[in-house]
Amino acid sequence: MIIKTDTEREGIRQAGKLLGEVLRDVAAHATVGTSTLELNDRAETLIRAGGAEPVFLNYVADGARTPYPATLCTSVNDEVVHGIPLSRTILKDGDLVSLDCGLSLDGFIADSAVSVIVGKRGDEADAVLLEGTKKALAAGIAAARAGNTTGDIGHAIEEVAKRYELTVVRDLGGHGTGKLLHEAPYIANFGAKGSGERLVDGMVLALEPIFTHGSGAIKLSGDGWTYLMRDHARAAHFEHTIIIGAHGAEIVTK
**Site residues (vs ligand MF3, CB under 6 A):** 56, 59, 61, 68, 73, 82, 100, 102, 111, 113, 175, 181, 208, 239
- Return the range that interacts with Co ion (CB under 5 A); candidates 67-75, 87-95, 103-111, 184-192: 103-111
Q: Which stretch binds Co ion (CB under 5 A): 8-16, 47-55, 105-113, 164-172?
A: 105-113
Of the two residues 33 and 107, which places its CB atom closer to ligand MF3 in the complex?
107
Nearest to 229 by CA among 150, 158, 172: 172
Q: Is 111 in the site for Co ion (CB under 5 A)?
A: yes
Contact predicate 145/249, CB 8 Å:
yes
Considering the complex, what minimum distance in angstroms separates the CB of residue 239 from Co ion? 5
Q: CA 82 to CA 181: how far, in whole Å?
A: 14
- The residue nearest ligand MF3 at its CB is 68
> 208, 241 in Cβ contact below 8 A?
no
Site string for Co ion, 202-241 (x = CB under 5 A): ----x-----------------------------------
Q: Which residue, 139 or 206, has its beta carbon nearer to Co ion?
A: 206
Say how far apart CA 15 and CA 125 lie, in whole Å: 34
What minimum distance in Å lies between the beta carbon of 246 and ligand MF3? 26
Which is nearest to 68 in space by CA: 97, 100, 39, 96? 100
Number of H helices, E strands in the chain: 4, 15
> By CB under 5 A, is residue 183 in contact with Co ion?
no
**What secondary structure does DSSP assign to 22-78, as a single string?**
HHHHHHHT--TT-BHHHHHHHHHHHHHHTT-EESSTT---TT-SS----SEEEEETT
Q: How far is the CB of 113 from ligand MF3 (least distance, A)?
A: 6
